[in-house]
Structure 1
């Protein structure tokens, strides 16, 4: 049996340069355990008292979350798992099940001192395996969280971009349709007989109205009443199809007194042509303004995305203001704030000093915490999200506070554990807060939780330098 185990150990890729004598020692001191398909190999919370090597079959890991069971992956043949020399691992965070006819080689931790003293190459391999495992797990953990954040933000961004982009298309189509009437209106205009003074009066009137567009906001009832008055006046003046221009005149707050003033400057026969010309200029101004406003909104969103992802910037720490990052995150999550009717309260300290931070990583912190706060208030009546920043000596404190139901005391000490989540399956990986804590630790800071029904507060504290 030892001979068979020895030959299997020689097939482990990591042991390719390990002397046979050391592999013989390993085979002699370990055991080969057999499991059938579906057998439970270990449970979450079980003490890990050694390392294992999959000789045949596989071990699939599952983690039990409050809202379901999640597959973490499978250890394939010749892969190493469990507690390795110098590892601080004590208990399993997941449960393992046998895939196929499983054969697991096992070495108990009681043999570790002898292993370290006599088998230097094996020890070196296992230590490298442990550091690679930690690095790969952390990298994958952060990547998973980034992908979750990206999914949330891309969905929100698509929603936010839809309205202004549709407005640009709609206004552009209307403008094209409107400009098709230019030749007809030009025929009317060239027949007008007016001196320079009258022309100046009309153009000044139009210029002043274009400057006021959007300044005066009428209620629906007020606008309807104004349109009715304008329609009556225009019909009496003899305009054909006055309904085509009353909406535009109402948008620019032109009333019948204004029309009477214009009428007084002109010959009666020229009034319709001048009013049609005014309508054409104002309609063009309105559509161009609408396109400009929608384009600005799109530009704001794109700028927020660029600021959020910190594109074209170095990956090292930078001295930066944290407020733009928080505001960019709020812009990216604005659709969720509106959808859930959440009142946003910003209490940002003025003249808050810049801090030495990894900007992109800190944006990840804001995204996780703000998104969690929004989700927490989903079933509450009063929904208030407060974000507060404060300078405390050489430290910056950021508070993210929600009015949700609170986090039960019995799970408050678990929320930073990997894979622990209270969200439904598919909505949370259980990695978000663990990644947040890692990023804050990377900044030599700390994160604290205070929670009770109606108020949950996450406090992030990190040094300025």
Structure 2
């Protein structure tokens, strides 16, 4: 005989409107449940074949997420859990551990299914409990999916910001060292006796090199050859500081330029002038590097702000879809480089604007591009092709990868909630479900075609939002 009473069941909010005779039937067909603190009521992999009604105590449900066992939910009595009518679950996804001594009732699955035919109010109460559980679990999984995606974006962004930040730090340190040398160099230069016309020639050479906008880009071999030529020239003229050759190479100086310099300031004056010029060129380079790195950080911050649309309304706005796609590529740039993935953009830049929620569209691009990157991971490289075009009254985006592909027998399931082809710990299976819901919200469509080496997702938005 179980120790759960009719009053115990009536105290459960879900059973408040259930007639007493139906609750008495539940008591008659149930069995007592009792567990001490630390005891497991069910284990991962157990068949989902009974309804648990916890009258007293607390129970924590633990399952594996992202490769680790975590507490998913804390269930405090009174609570109804386990199998519920019309549930499609077959096995338990985790284990249930009593935190406090638990007392309750369990009813086997066949009896619950019998109640569906006999007791309408009891069935309705159990179904309502199930829908609430599904809603809560879905909300939790969606939050996990967002945090999982945010974690990947944050890791990539940290790497992207670290590179220019480190470059600024190195550049500032080098610049400080060069500035410290200025007083000594000034003394040496001030002691020189150079004719004004010769000074003008030196100045013109220096200005032309530092202000040159069409400076050719040298290959590694070409650069090494030029540096060797300049080093040989300097050595032939008694100048042993070969760091000068490296700095002169950076700005495209040639042996002919040094011949002009030598005509203006022969040794020993030439060594002093070249030392001063090398210092100046190095400072110029450091300032340029700091400026470029700062611009990169500003670009990343701007992309983050645009990506999240912190300053946008929650209403739909006319948008250029290319801006969102490019911002998403910027956010995922580190992962693209890490995966040795080439991005090909076939954009129709004359496309009309699409009325949409910018932040939500960015979720679409993030999920789809991230999935494509993961699909190419096994190959160690890949090509991601993103195309846009106008198809009658629709703006269409095509995202294609040359990864492993989606097996034909599961292609119809890829948009289902919680379905995933990824390994345990690499996703929750909600990414494409989120994509589907957002695109439907925009009256659009999404479809996929896939064979090994060629998977393409097509997203279409109507120009007429109605």
> TM-score, normalization: structure 1?
0.83
Residues 17-416 of structure 1: matches in 2 within 5 Å? 18=16, 22=18, 24-31=20-27, 32-34=30-32, 37-39=40-42, 53-55=53-55, 73=73, 75-81=75-81, 91-92=88-89, 95=92, 99=97, 103-104=105-106, 108-111=115-118, 113=120, 133=133, 135-212=135-212, 215-239=215-239, 241-266=240-265, 270-380=269-379, 383-416=382-415
Q: 1:52 to 1:262 in 2, by over 3 A?
A: same
5+ residue gaps, structure 1: 117-121
CA shift at 1:382, angstroms? 6.5
Q: Distance in 2 between matches of 1:406 and 1:143?
A: 27
CA shift at 1:236, angstroms? 3.8
* Kept in 2: contact 1:10–1:23 (CA 8 A): no
Q: Distance in 1 between matches of 2:63 and 2:359?
A: 29
SS in 2 for 1:419: coil
Residues 399-433 of structure 1: per-residue CA shift (max 9 Å, x gap)? 21111121112222332333322222221122222
Q: 1:378 to 1:338 in 2, by over 3 A?
A: same
How many residues are paired up? 446
Q: Distance in 1 between matches of 2:75 and 2:347?
A: 48
Moved more, 196-205 or 445-454: 196-205
Q: Distance in 2 between matches of 1:168 and 1:421?
A: 42
Q: Distance in 2 between matches of 1:333 and 1:198?
A: 53
* Kept in 2: contact 1:59–1:98 (CA 8 A): yes
Residues 243-283 of structure 1: per-residue CA shift (max 9 Å, x gap)? 13111011111112101112223465533332222222211
* Kept in 2: contact 1:145–1:435 (CA 8 A): no
SS in 2 for 1:458: strand
Q: Distance in 2 between matches of 1:144 and 1:390?
A: 34
* Kept in 2: contact 1:61–1:95 (CA 8 A): no
SS in 2 for 1:385: strand
Instruction: Give me the CA root mean square deviation.
Output: 3.6
Q: 1:11 to 1:394 in 2, by over 3 A?
A: same
Q: Distance in 2 between matches of 1:331 and 1:148?
A: 18
Q: Distance in 1 between matches of 2:43 and 2:261?
A: 90
Q: 1:417 to 1:63 in 2, by over 3 A?
A: farther
SS in 1 for 2:218: coil
Q: Distance in 2 between matches of 1:144 and 1:43?
A: 25
Residues 287-307 of structure 1: per-residue CA shift (max 9 Å, x gap)? 111111222222222222222
* Kept in 2: contact 1:213–1:251 (CA 8 A): no
Residues 112-137 of structure 1: per-residue CA shift (max 9 Å, x gap)? 64569xxxxx96x985x677555544
Q: Distance in 2 between matches of 1:134 and 1:320?
A: 35
Q: 1:147 to 1:350 in 2, by over 3 A?
A: same
CA shift at 1:75, angstroms? 4.4
Q: Distance in 2 between matches of 1:68 and 1:186?
A: 64
SS in 2 for 1:379: helix
CA shift at 1:99, angstroms? 4.7
SS in 2 for 1:413: helix
Q: Distance in 1 between matches of 2:192 and 2:48?
A: 91
SS in 2 for 1:353: coil
* Kept in 2: contact 1:56–1:104 (CA 8 A): no
> TM-score, normalization: structure 2?
0.82
CA shift at 1:209, angstroms? 0.7
* Kept in 2: contact 1:63–1:94 (CA 8 A): no
5+ residue gaps, structure 2: 35-39
SS in 1 for 2:377: coil
